[in-house]
Amino acid sequence: MTEIVYLLTNEAMPGLVKIGRTNGELASRIRGLYSTGVPLPFELFYGAK
């Protein structure tokens, strides 16, 4: 499985960028992070295999 490196932003946290990687589907990862208690969902800024 291919790893994806991603950069996410969130309007609730201006000026901060979440950097991560996943082996799964990127959209699923972003949805999963929203369930961690942040008030707004993350938005994909950049992603690459």
Buried b (16+ CB within 10 A) or exposed e, 13-26: eeeeeeeeebeeeb
Q: What is the pLDDT of residues 1-49, one digit of tens each?
A: 789 999 999 999 999 999 999 998 999 999 998 888 889 999 999 999 9
DSSP 24-38: S-HHHHHHHHHTTS-
pLDDT of 5 reads: 97
The pTM of the full predicted model, rounded to 2 decimals, is 0.86
pLDDT of 9 reads: 97
pLDDT of 12 reads: 93
